[in-house]
Amino acid sequence: MKLLAMAFSAIFLISCGNSTNSIDPNQQKDKQKNLGKQKETYEIQVNNVYGEAVKGAKVLIGTQFDENNFYETNEDGQLTLSKEQWNGKQSITIGYDSYVRVTYVNQSPKDLDVRLQPILSERNYGISGITEGFGSLKKDKWADVSVVAPLFSREQLIRFDVSYLISDQMDTMKVFGQKFSVPSNISFPKQKEKYGWFTLTLNKPIYRMPFYFSGTYDLIALHGRFPFEKTIDKIRNNENIFSVVNDFQINQGGITRVEINQGNHEKNLAINSLQFDRELEILSPDIKDEKEVNMIVGLNKKENKYFPSGIKYVKEKERVKLNFSSQHENLALAFQSDEVKEGDTTMISNKISIQVMPLNNSDEFNLLDRVNSPIWENNSLVFERPREKTRVYDGGTYLSLTEMPDGQSIQMQLAQNQKVWEFYSDSWLDRLDLPEWPTGLSQDKKLRWEVMFLGTNKNSPNAIGENMLREASHVSRNILDL
């Protein structure tokens, strides 16, 4: 089931004062005199994701902790710094209890708007129900299945995190007297299919989807099908597990907008209100090694959110056909990694390159080279930057630090991972010196550093912060576990 898964805050506007029908010549001269003058003070505004001011947020200027460069926001979430306090390029770190700490690396003095993300903890919200609209299912050698997930934001898409699509919570489905664990957001309508001499009943009609936050969500319920006996045989015979992806078909789905305010909600979802009725041919990227894992994902865009409509595994450079919705803008995502073995299990390595490309032009995929893991060296991280590529421009570096429970199952790790620190640099980094934050790093949890080198199709100054992820078209990423 996991295979199915598989800012500056805005560009500065220069204001020329209130609009009038005439321009005062003396005023114009004053503006020219002041042009290029250094500001006397700089404002840092700290809000949370709901736009609420964060009073008492701590702000560190530079990487060395000192009482003279460690400040606190006022009741309006503001901090005013003089040009002496913020002089020249400095890393700026902002933190507050229960929020993800954030560092803007090597920033020139300027006004800064900061939006703190809450640290994810309890998922107190949820939705469940029946996926419906399959019609009368016959014994046709094909198993029908539904996957329910929220539409992705651009930031989620570029991170390509499997947990966005496949729930870490498990339900149980009985087949021929045996119990199987199935991710809670996957459902099987009641159906009978043959395997060998046996007729098996598949029946898990209810999906469940947990959420961290209340709000309005657009959910996609995808209707997928796979050849039942053929797929089971491939898995039992230890065939290349990625080839199973190509047996999976997605022909339709349904998008439903839901309000999640408190506790758990019940909502049945249709899987047949949106047809993937457009077939497009996509040329896969260059493949250099037989151990590479290359996948192409068909994407559709709805109001700045994205949902998949097909996936293909490719072993050589070839043209693949995928289905899309004719009602939406169509894009393709190329995913490139390596095949690794952990015992008898075939996995995907953490050395990953991704490109998202619109399908309204004739461009071919041009992925960034994959990079090796960062190196931890004297409280610093040392990086291997990707090679420069034609028509791909430096889009900055994003890093995150996640605390992970050690020695637990993958499902428990997915459920309990906590991102605690984010870093944004408006250029590709060779090295990051970790700021000296008073509380230091956790000593009793496994730490995971993830680095993402971002690329864009535009040769223009990079936004800083989350906008870097929104504007990225390419990512080369890897992790380091400590």
Cα gap 144→481, rounded to integer Å: 38
User: Are residues 76 and 153 located together in one domain of the fold?
Assistant: no
**Domain enclosing residue 247, as ranges:** 1-6+120-275
Single-letter residue type at 184: S
Tokens of 384: 């291997």
68 falls within a domain: yes
Q: Which of 231, 29, 219, 27 is nearest to 127 (CA)?
A: 219
Q: Is the pLDDT confidence value at 304 over 80?
A: yes
Among residues 313, 331, 366, the one where a domain terminates is: 366
- The 10s digit of each residue's pLDDT in 423-446 is 999 999 999 999 999 988 877 788
Q: Which has the minimum average pLDDT: 24-38, 39-53, 184-198, 464-478?
A: 24-38
Phi, psi (deg, nearest 5) at residue 416: -110, 0
299 falls within a domain: yes
- The 10s digit of each residue's pLDDT in 233-259 is 887 787 777 778 889 999 899 999 999
Give the pLDDT score at 142: 93
Mean pLDDT, range 136-154, rounded to an integer: 92
Computed over every residue of the chain, the mean pLDDT equals: 85
Which pLDDT band holds residue 407 (cuts at 50, 70, 90)? low
Q: Which has the minimum average pLDDT: 162-171, 219-228, 287-296?
A: 162-171
Among residues 323, 348, 366, the one where a domain terminates is: 366
User: Are residues 175 and 271 located together in one domain of the fold?
Assistant: yes
Mean pLDDT, range 323-329, rounded to an integer: 95
CA atoms in the 13 A half-sphere facing the CB of 53: 12
Provide the percentage of residues in the chain whose pLDDT is more than 90. 59
Measured CA to CA in angstroms, residue 269 lies from 150, 200, 224 at distances of 12, 25, 15
User: Are residues 270 and 320 located together in one domain of the fold?
Assistant: no
Q: Is the pLDDT confidence value at 31 over 70?
A: no
Residues 313/273, Cβ–Cβ less than 8 Å: no
Single-letter residue type at 356: V
Cα gap 454→474, rounded to integer Å: 6
Most confident of 194-203, 372-381, 396-405, 443-452: 372-381
Measured CA to CA in angstroms, residue 85 lies from 69, 199, 366, 425 at distances of 7, 75, 43, 21
Q: Is the pLDDT confidence value at 231 over 80?
A: yes
Residues 90/107, Cβ–Cβ less than 8 Å: yes
Residues 159/237, Cβ–Cβ less than 8 Å: no
User: Are residues 144 and 291 located together in one domain of the fold?
Assistant: no
E-only strand ranges, 315-437: 319-324, 329-342, 345-348, 352-358, 375-376, 380-382, 393-404, 418-425, 431-433
340 falls within a domain: yes
User: Are residues 109 and 199 located together in one domain of the fold?
Assistant: no
User: Are residues 128 and 257 located together in one domain of the fold?
Assistant: yes
30 falls within a domain: no
Q: Which of 54, 104, 46 is nearest to 467 (CA)?
A: 104
User: Are residues 127 and 178 located together in one domain of the fold?
Assistant: yes
Which pLDDT band holds residue 321 (cuts at 50, 70, 90)? very high
Measured CA to CA in angstroms, residue 436 lies from 70, 175, 380 at distances of 11, 55, 11
314 against 28, higher pLDDT: 314
Residues 145/224, Cβ–Cβ less than 8 Å: yes
Among residues 216, 245, 275, the one where a domain terminates is: 275
Provide the percentage of residues in the chain whose pLDDT is more than 70. 89
Residues 452/476, Cβ–Cβ less than 8 Å: yes
48 falls within a domain: yes
User: Are residues 84 and 126 located together in one domain of the fold?
Assistant: no
Mean pLDDT, range 102-116, rounded to an integer: 95
Cα gap 404→263, rounded to integer Å: 26
Cα gap 255→307, rounded to integer Å: 10
Q: Which of 67, 60, 116 is nearest to 92 (CA)?
A: 60
Residue reference for tokens 């349904």: 254
Give the pLDDT score at 19: 30
- The 10s digit of each residue's pLDDT in 47-105 is 998 899 999 999 999 999 988 999 999 999 999 999 999 999 999 999 999 999 999 99
- The 10s digit of each residue's pLDDT in 353-401 is 999 999 976 678 999 999 999 999 999 999 999 998 888 999 999 999 9
Tokens of 426: 């408006």
CATH number of the domain bearing residue 112: 2.60.40.1120
Measured CA to CA in angstroms, residue 428 lies from 88, 367, 379, 453 at distances of 20, 16, 19, 6
243 falls within a domain: yes
343 falls within a domain: yes
Q: Is the pLDDT confidence value at 308 over 70?
A: yes
Mean pLDDT, range 221-231, rounded to an integer: 93
CA atoms in the 13 A half-sphere facing the CB of 352: 23
Tokens of 346: 């075939």
Antiparallel, parallel or unpaired: β 78-82 and 41-48 = antiparallel
User: Are residues 68 and 193 located together in one domain of the fold?
Assistant: no
Number of domains in the chain: 3
User: Are residues 205 and 297 located together in one domain of the fold?
Assistant: no
162 falls within a domain: yes
Give the pLDDT score at 395: 95
Give the pLDDT score at 312: 93
Cα gap 150→6, rounded to integer Å: 15
- The 10s digit of each residue's pLDDT in 151-191 is 999 988 888 777 778 888 888 888 878 888 889 999 999 99
User: Are residues 59 and 108 located together in one domain of the fold?
Assistant: yes
Give the pLDDT score at 361: 67
User: Are residues 247 and 126 located together in one domain of the fold?
Assistant: yes
Residues 394/473, Cβ–Cβ less than 8 Å: no
- Element at 309 (helix H, strand E): strand 305-314
Mean pLDDT, range 33-43, rounded to an integer: 67
